[in-house]
Structure formats: structure tokens, C-alpha cells
Amino acid sequence: MQILHSKILGEGKPLIILHGFLGMADNWKTLGTQYAENGFQVHLVDQRNHGKSIHSEEFNYEVMANDIKNYLDHHHLGTAAVLGHSMGGKVAMQVAVGHPDKVGKLIVADIAPKYYPPHHQEIINALKKLDFDTIKSRKEADEALAKHITDFGIRQFLLKNLHWVGKDRLGFRFNLDVLQNKMEQIGEGIAPQAQYAGPTLFLRGDRSEYVLPSDYTIIKTHFPNAIIETVENAGHWLHAENPKQFFSKSMAFLNQ
């Protein structure tokens, strides 16, 4: 059994942070440091097929939730607060409904427990077009990616995954082939009967379409004690777009 790679910051109550699709633990370093400075031992986790964690053909929410359970057991963490964004939020929900004794508090950032149709295909296609036989620098990778993805912020987020896989050869840390083949699994919802009755906070961006008022019923069905709050001036990347408000709302909940 391979344990997920992580960065551990600070001392105190354990807080697990789970990144989104095509992300990595490092995306949460700034906020993670803030939680660590406020009494938490923060575990920034690379999920399977992402970052420095295992590459595997097995990729679904049950398996990924099990990875987190094994991680908690390996580090003797007992019960932890779990925070997840987007795909990481789905994993966090799955950990909570599957292993409720492991989750003291749950924070879900801009994702609902429902099914989402695959919608990352354009990004995957753009990444697949990058030719690392000819691309020899981050700048060249950015120029090639810009032909397909105009948003600078999205490109920077994706290119954070670039690393030297060998002498003079760049590659991505995420397992692009498996992730491309498992697009359907990324959108999966929580099982109909699954429920977690512990303290739960859903944070949504006011400009995001991932969590709509029409989703509140399904949220409450699975998470009867959920509080739903809105982060202002933020889309799907609410923790990056308004980190100050994201931090204050999440911190208030964690300290309750």
C-alpha cells in the first residue's frame, strides 16, 4: 500500500486539504501556512495521479477516499477536519460518508454532491497537444498552451505541474492518460443513501455556477447539518480569488 505524498505544516489539530482536478498540494501552500499559524497541523495532500503521489489505473472516489483513510491511519491522526476543493471536495465528501469516524469537520469548496457532466475535455486536449520532444522550457510550454487556452491564470495553474522528468526533458506530474480516460468518474455524485451528520460547511463562489441555490436540497439530504455560505467576488477558484474571505469563513467554522 502506497501512502499519498504530502507537505505537513505546523502543529495542532489535524486539517487535511485536498486539491482539485489537475491540481497539487502546492496550490494550497499560502492558505495552508495561514491555517498552520492558527493552531492547525496542516496536511497538504497530493491525490493519486496528481503531484508526487502514485500513478494508478484505479481512479474513482471510493478508491481516493480510501487513500485518505489510509493516510490518516498511517499518520495516526484519528479524527481530522477535511477541506476539499472541486474534485477534492468530492473526495472529502466521500471520506465523510464512508468513514464518518475519521472526519470531525467537513469543508467543501465550490462543489455539490451531485453528478456533473464531463467538462474538462478542452483543457485535456490542449495539454495532449504539447510536444515535449520540442518544448524545452516553461516559456515555450506556455506559448504552445496559449494557442488553445487564452486564460493566463488557468495556464499558470496547469504549468505549475511541469517538472524535469529526465535530463533536458519536461513532463507533467499528473497522470494525463489516466485522467483523460476517467473523465466520467470525475463528475460522479455521492451515492443516493450516503449521509454524514457531522458539522459541515459548503463554501460557494458568488460568480460560480458549480453550486446553485437549486443544489441546496441535495446538499442538505446528504449533509443534514450543513451550513452553506457564499464567498463574494469569486468564481470556482474561490480560495485563490478571495483568499481573505475564504480563510475567515473557514476559520470561523473550524474554531466553532
Q: Which residues are catalytic?
A: 86, 177, 236
Cell readout for 45 is: 495532500
Residues 95 and 102: beta-carbon distance below 8 Å: yes
Number of H helices and E strands in the chain, helices first, is: 11, 9
Q: Which of 139, 153, 141, 147 is nearest to 241 (CA)?
A: 153
Cα end-to-end distance, the chain, whole Å: 36
Residue 68 DSSP label: H
Contact in structure between 53 and 25 (CB atoms under 8 Å): no
Beta strands 162-166 and 169-172, pairing class: antiparallel
Q: How far apart are CA 49 and CA 8, in angstroms?
A: 20
Helix (H, G, I), strand (E, B) or coil at 128: helix
Judged by DSSP in three states, 15 sits in strand
- Grid cell for residue 194: 450516503
Helix axes 138-146, 152-159, angle to 10 degrees: 140
